[in-house]
Amino acid sequence: MLGIDMASEVLCGKCGALLTNPNAPCPRCGAAASGRYQGPVARTRKSPLVAAALAVVPGLGHFYLGENKKGIVFLIGVGGLEFFGLDLDLSFIGALIGVPLEIGGGSLWLFSIVDAYRSARRLEAETGFSAR
């Protein structure tokens, strides 16, 4: 055995070079050692039509695209507006408030479908995939 301790070797956080001294800057690029290297991530093509079709369930199209925060906002937003709108419809005064909430929830739901389609098109343009 050569007695090389692999645990003491770290990767440069900027260029991915193997550093034998974790306290010294990288000899290749001069960056500080971070212990982890995140190289370029290859993204797969996400279809705008599939994203829009999945967005029929609020938030699902955005989860498909990897936009999880947006998906959660649409899921809670549409679900909350519809739930409270239906709950208020039980009385006349409640219906005055509930019906606009339901219309708002429906409008947000339609917007989420359009937004999922547009987001997929934007991701295509950013990653260089041809738009269909």
Q: Does 97 score more than 80 pLDDT?
A: no
Token duo for residue 119: 């987001």
What region, left, alpha or beta, does residue 69 occupy, with left being phi > 0 and alpha being psi -120 to 50 degrees?
alpha
pLDDT at res. 1: 42
Residue 119 and residue 62 in one domain:
yes
Same structural domain, 123 and 60:
yes
Both 52 and 73 in a single domain? yes
Q: Identity (one letter) of the amino acid at 127?
A: T
Core vs surface per residue 72-108: b (16+ CB within 10 A) or e: ebbbebbeebbebbeebbeeeeeeeebeebbeebeeb
Contacts with 81 (C-beta within 8 Å, 6 or more apart), sequence order: 101, 102, 104, 105, 108
In a domain, 132, yes or no: no
Q: Is residue 12 within 8 Å of 34, Cβ to Cβ?
A: yes
Three-class secondary structure of residue 83 per DSSP: helix
What is the pLDDT confidence band of residue 115, given thresholds at 50, 70 and 90?
A: very high
Same domain, 74 and 108: yes
In a shared domain, residues 94 and 118: yes
Per-residue pLDDT tens for 36-93? 545 555 667 889 999 999 999 999 999 999 999 999 999 999 888 777 776 666 667 7
Domain count, the chain: 2
In a domain, 11, yes or no: yes
**Residues 57 and 111 placed together within one structural domain of the fold:** yes
Tell me: do 10 and 53 sit in the same domain. Answer: no
Range of the domain at 2: 1-39
pLDDT at 5: 47
Same domain, 61 and 34: no
Which position has the higher pLDDT, 29 or 8? 29
